[in-house]
């Protein structure tokens, strides 16, 4: 089978495509024919050696796939060859991958493999963050940064679905228009100056109750200035490239909660929460309440060009590799 290999850490151009043996499933795993694999900003960090998880070289990147079960391990009873699934795995940038049964989910007939490949990380992160970690309530004000990206757009859509009034920030009118389409009530272009004053104006001076921040850097620091009393800031990531520091006097006097979310670790420390969340999200999709936005697909051979879209900051929604 063909697979993308990272043999040395560095830029996407260092990735190579080679023929390697098909993986074999262990007792509690399934082997999947990968039709599509979701691309994530974290993938660019991993191939540079800058991510929390650092697999040994050489490795195949890719953590979420959509495809069809080819083979099941001897202990597997919930899946059979031919099942349409999405899965979280290691080595998704390949024609085949193996995944543990507890990280594999049957998908609705109406869900495409491309949608499946871009679903788990974006929607799972947003849902666990907003519901489980920040306890977002109907009627609250939710501020979403990076609102046109995969995780940000999912947070906008889910925030609206959960009854919040959503304020979206992004860097261009086109990105903001997409956030409005997915449920944002108010739009702020943060390339036009500090957004904190606009948030205060939109909330009669109170600020946002929950802030969803996958950006970090200056965006986080401004968020501290426009958070409501007893507000919660969800620290999702640092797409801006700089890890910020919080002045703890502001945290104290405003009773702010700074809440970290590394969604992937729920698969290790609290798999029940992750499973329940993804099952809820798949039900909402089947009911027509969620509409994943896949902005572009790339063939496997264009993996470097696709990953560089994150560096160009041109990604909206999700981008995926279409492998079959």
The answer to whether residues 109 and 130 belong to one domain is: no
Residue 273 lies in a domain: no
Residue 66 lies in a domain: yes
Coil, helix or strand at residue 307: helix
The answer to whether residues 250 and 132 belong to one domain is: yes
- Do residues 140 and 159 touch, judged by C-beta distance below 8 A? no
Residue 275 lies in a domain: no
The answer to whether residues 127 and 211 belong to one domain is: yes
- Which of 239-262 are b and which e, b meaning 16 or more Cβ less than 10 Å from the residue's Cβ? bbeeebeeeeeeeeebebbebebe
pLDDT tens-digit readout, 133-189: 999 999 999 999 999 999 999 999 999 999 999 999 998 999 999 999 999 999 999
The answer to whether residues 157 and 97 belong to one domain is: no
The answer to whether residues 254 and 128 belong to one domain is: yes
pLDDT tens-digit readout, 204-224: 999 999 999 999 889 999 999
Residue 105 lies in a domain: yes
The answer to whether residues 260 and 186 belong to one domain is: yes
Residue with tokens 């757009």: 153
The answer to whether residues 103 and 87 belong to one domain is: yes
Centre a 10 Å sphere on the Cβ of residue 209 and count the other Cβ atoms it contains. 22
pLDDT tens-digit readout, 120-143: 999 999 999 999 999 999 999 999
Residue 167 lies in a domain: yes
The answer to whether residues 149 and 228 belong to one domain is: yes
CATH number for the domain harbouring residue 83: 3.90.180.10
The answer to whether residues 71 and 145 belong to one domain is: no
Residue 278 lies in a domain: no
Give the pTM: 0.93
pLDDT tens-digit readout, 18-71: 999 999 999 999 999 999 999 998 899 999 998 878 899 999 999 999 999 999
Q: How many domains is the chain built from? A: 2
Residue 48 lies in a domain: yes
The answer to whether residues 141 and 259 belong to one domain is: yes
Which structural domain, as residue segments, surrounds residue 206? 122-264
- Do residues 233 and 223 touch, judged by C-beta distance below 8 A? yes
The answer to whether residues 73 and 135 belong to one domain is: no
The answer to whether residues 132 and 258 belong to one domain is: yes
Residue 172 lies in a domain: yes
């Amino acid at each position: 089978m063909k697979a993308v290999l990272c043999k040395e850490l560095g830029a996407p151009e260092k990735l190579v495509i080679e023929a390697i043996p098909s993986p074999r499933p262990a007792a509690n795993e399934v082997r999947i024919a990968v039709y599509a694999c979701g691309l994530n900003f974290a993938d660019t960090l991993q191939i540079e050696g800058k991510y929390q998880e650092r697999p040994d070289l050489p490795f195949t990147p890719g953590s979420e796939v959509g495809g069809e079960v080819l083979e099941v391990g001897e202990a597997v009873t919930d899946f059979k060859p031919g099942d349409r699934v999405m899965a979280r795995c290691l080595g998704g940038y390949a024609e085949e991958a193996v995944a543990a049964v507890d990280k594999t989910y049957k998908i609705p007939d109406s869900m495409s493999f491309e949608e499946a490949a871009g679903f788990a990380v974006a929607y799972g992160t947003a849902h666990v963050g907003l519901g489980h970690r920040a306890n977002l309530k109907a009627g609250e004000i939710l501020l979403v940064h990076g609102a046109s990206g995969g995780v940000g757009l999912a947070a906008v859509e889910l925030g609206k679905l959960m009854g919040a009034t959503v304020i979206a920030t992004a860097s261009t009118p086109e990105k903001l228009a997409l956030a409005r389409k997915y449920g944002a009530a108010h739009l702020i272009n943060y390339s036009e100056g500090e957004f904190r004053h606009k948030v205060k104006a939109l909330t009669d001076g109170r600020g946002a109750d929950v802030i969803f921040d996958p950006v970090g850097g200056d965006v986080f620091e401004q968020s501290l200035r426009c958070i409501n009393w007893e507000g919660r800031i969800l620290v999702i990531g640092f797409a801006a490239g700089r890890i910020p520091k919080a002045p703890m006097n502001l945290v104290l006097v405003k009773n702010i909660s700074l809440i970290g979310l590394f969604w992937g670790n729920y698969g290790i420390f609290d798999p029940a929460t992750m499973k329940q969340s993804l099952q809820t999200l798949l039900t909402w999709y089947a009911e027509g309440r969620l509409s994943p936005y896949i902005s572009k697909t790339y063939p496997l051979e264009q993996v470097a060009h696709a990953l560089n879209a994150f560096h160009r900051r041109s990604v909206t929604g999700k981008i995926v590799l279409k492998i079959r």
